[in-house]
Structure 1
Amino acid sequence: MSDTQAARKDTLRAAAHWYALLCSEDVTEKQKHAHAAWLAEDPAHVQAWQQVEKLRQQLQMIPGAPSLNALQIKQRQDHSRRAVLRGFALLAVGSALGSLAWQRAPVESWMASHRTARGERREYTLAGGTQLVLNTATALDVVETSTTQLIRLYAGEIFIRTRNGTGKVAAAKTLQVHTEQGTVVPLGTVFTVRKLGTSTQVTVLEDEVELIPQSAGGKTQRLVAGEQAQMSSVDVEVATVSDQADSWTRGLLVAVDWPLSRLVAELSRYRTGVLRCAPSIAGLRVSGAFPIDDTDRALQAIANALPVSVDRLTQYWVTLKSSE
């Protein structure tokens, strides 16, 4: 095992310890503050904490999962309860050491020349005048060739406004956005590109873009203003979009009759730690404009509008629950 793998394993074991401790009925405020301090020490601690929580959610979807059944058993003694919880959380250690379960960002994203942290947005003007706005947790490189200006998007989301409403950044250069799923070629436009795991989401706000899936057999698709597409490496699925698809560039998340689960998932992109909602309220419908630069204020606005309450185990573990 490499030093890096050993360090990850140690961090996950620490996360398992904290999980067991905080799920105990006799957890103290001092312990909660100590946990918050541990999370703040290193982004790797937050990743490990999220991994434990994600595994718990996955196990809930498996009928009869032994670890889930164990969690549902009311223990008569606190030390027994902690042992069960710690045993569950340690499952995350073994799972997370696998390359798929860890779901770490590509190496390229850590080395990218342009990056934003979680909750951060940043603007750039590229050579030739193209304007970029990087959304939260975004990583990209800009590569110049003799004929093309390439934006390689590894993670996150970008807003792009091409110079003078054209797809040309110079007399002989064409702008392109590359992801692992394919290529986006603007045809004089304003648009956004977002990485979604195994797909790339493209939203056109003005003019047109052309989508070229990575696979040689993939069909090229043209999008016009008001359309959005999910591009895999072999296919493109097109849908219409809201006029507020770029509201994040103005510091807002605009929801129009969204299920609460979707709104919480989107807000979690701008917040360090775990943010979730209880299944019993996930389907509540919500509309409004919510600030992404102050997610606590956004959560309070949700609580004011819906019969929900904001439960904070720590600053980094927040759950929306029914208040009824």
Structure 2
Amino acid sequence: MTASDDVPTLDSAVQEAIEWEITLRDGDVSSAVQAQFETWRLADPSHEAAWAKLQSRLGRFSALEGASGAAVRRAVNEPSSTRRRMLKIGAGVAAGVLAGVGTRELIKVFALDADYHNGTAVPERVALNDGVPVTLGASTRIYAPQDQPRGNIFLASGQIATGFRAGPRDWVAVATRDGMVQTRGARLSVDALRRHTVVAVQGGDAILADRRGGRVRATDGTAWSLSSERIKLMPETSGDIFAWTSGTLVVLDRPVPDVVETMGRYFAGYIRFPDSALSRRVSGVFPLDDVKGSLRQLAEGLGLTLNFYGKALAVAV
């Protein structure tokens, strides 16, 4: 792996919540430190929200409101129709479990009512109701509304790869918050990251459109960065991007937050890299079936040491 040097850092409230978690885990916490922590939580609503979301990820809710974190996770992993019913029935419990984060907000932020969801670290192949074959990456949620034209997909989170349609004249359109990609015969890999959407095209051409109306024809074998402001050709080939379907992450001159975010889908807890590392760029090949090893590889390439706190946290220093 190689590293080079421009990207924003993670949300400050999330960073601070992780740092407080590490501090409070030390066990022998003075009353003064505890008071500082409570002051921090009350100082801004975003602090309380970040702390609640962190705790939900750490699964520490077994004693709250008589509901277990396992029960909530089980509801999240149910098929969408069952999950919607469970979330409606258990709205009061879920609100208590999430320490003030409302169920509606949870559904909105995490797309818990998505039509298809892969909650495992292993790619899952599904056939949508309209016959479109799709591979779902880890932590992926998509909507495929039946009242929309055939082949229309909204990728709320994660990464998908589409298969070839049986009818080559049928369009496949994948939208994210950044824009849309459409094709009549190609396979697509679409990755919804925080800063942008990564699109790769194989076996044909596709049209990329951003939210401002910009359009680009993406030719066979190319990879693109699609954001709300621009569409940019990436140095990777489509083969590099599609490698995730066989368990490998390949990046060339990619911002570190992109890589950390992708690996985070395969790691059960939170990952914390220092700001100095988040402003750099890296190139490398990382196995996704050994995410701890890949995180260490990433950290070492940046001149850092990675510490694991059980399965809950990975902190690079």
Q: Does 1:86 align with 2:86?
A: no
Amino acid across the alignment from 1:312: F
Aligned equivalent of 1:237? 231
Q: Aligned match of 1:310 in 285, 297, 306?
A: 306
Deviation at 1:189, TM superposition (A): 0.6
Give, in angstroms, the shift of residue 222 of structure 1: 1.9
Residue number among 279, 283, 293 corresponding to 1:297 in the alignment: 293
Residue 131 of structure 1 and its aligned partner are, at CA, apart by 2.7
Is 2:217 the partner of 1:222?
yes
Q: Post-superposition shift, 1:114? A: 0.9
**1:23 shift after superposition:** 0.8
Q: Percent identity?
A: 22
SS in 2 for 1:86: helix
CA contact (8 A) 2:183 2:207 kept: yes
> How many residue pairs get matched?
248
Mapped pair 1:166 → 2:163: no
Q: Deviations over 1:136-184 (max 9, x none)?
A: 221123345696332232222211122369352xxxxx33223455442
Aligned positions of 1:62-81 closer than 5 A: 78-81=30-33
Alignment correspondent of 1:27: 27
Residues of 1 paired with 2:25 and 2:179: CA distance? Answer: 50
Aligned residues of 2:40 and 2:47 also touching (Cα < 8 A): no
Rounded to whole Å, the distance in 2 between the matches of 1:237 and 1:301 is: 30
TM-score normalized by the length of structure 2: 0.62
CA deviation map 1:67-125 (0-9, x unaligned): xxxxxxxxxx9322232133224446555569xx9785527922222111263421123
1:155 to 146, 154, 157: 157
Tell me which residue corresponds to 1:60: none
CA–CA distance in 1 between the matches of 2:173 and 2:282?
36
Indicate if the aligned counterparts of 1:247 and 1:254 stay in contact, CA closer than 8 A: yes
Q: Distance in 1 between matches of 2:301 and 2:169?
A: 43
Using the alignment, how far apart are the partners of 1:88 and 1:134 within structure 2? Answer: 38
Deviation at 1:257, TM superposition (A): 4.9
> Partners of 1:114 and 1:239 in 2: how far apart?
29
- The residue matched to 2:112 in structure 1 has which SS? helix
State whether residues 153 and 179 of structure 1, in contact with CA within 8 Å, keep that contact through their aligned partners in structure 2.
Answer: yes
CA distance in 1, matches of 2:273, 2:216: 36
The answer to whether the Cα contact below 8 Å between 2:236 and 2:251 also exists between their aligned partners in 1 is no
1:142 correspondence with 2:144: yes
Map of 1:192 onto structure 2 = 189
Residues 276 and 94 (structure 1), Cα distance of their counterparts in 2 relative to 1, 3 Å cut: closer
Give the direction of change, closer, same or farther, for the CA distance of 1:26–1:294 in structure 2 (3 Å limit): closer
CA distance in 2, matches of 1:108, 1:276: 20
Q: What does residue 12 of structure 2 align with?
A: none
Query: How far does residue 309 in structure 1 lie from its aligned partner after superposition?
Result: 2.0
Q: How does 1:278-293 map to 2 (within 5 A)?
A: 278-282=274-278, 286-293=282-289
Q: Which has more radius of gyration?
A: 1
Structure number with greater CO (CA < 8 Å, separation at least 6) is: 2
- Give a deviation string over 1:180-235, Cα, whole Å, max 9, x none: 554422131121223345854432233211134456xx243322131414142xx5
User: For 1:260 and 1:86, how far apart are their aligned partners in 2?
Assistant: 32
Mapped to 1, the partners of 2:255 and 2:49 lie a distance apart of: 34
**TM alignment of 1:175-214, pairs within 5 A:** 175-197=172-194, 200-213=197-210
Distance 1:146 1:273, change over 3 A: closer
Secondary structure, aligned partner of 2:203: strand
Correspondence 1:82-121 to 2 at 5 A? 82-91=34-43, 93=45, 95=47, 104=106, 106=108, 109-117=111-119, 119-121=121-123
Q: Distance in 1 between matches of 2:109 and 2:263?
A: 26
What is the match of residue 264 of structure 2?
A: 268
Residue 251 (structure 2) pairs with residue 255 (structure 1): yes
Distance in 2, matches of 1:192 and 1:308, equals: 31
CA contact (8 A) 2:263 2:288 kept: yes
TM-score, length of structure 1 as denominator length = 0.61
Unaligned 5+ segments in structure 1 are 1-14, 29-76, 169-173
Q: 1:297 to 1:199 in 2, by over 3 A?
A: closer
Taking only aligned residues, the RMSD between alpha carbons, in angstroms, comes to: 3.9
* Counterpart secondary structure, 1:27: coil
Structure 2: stretches of 5+ with no match in the other structure = 1-15, 54-100
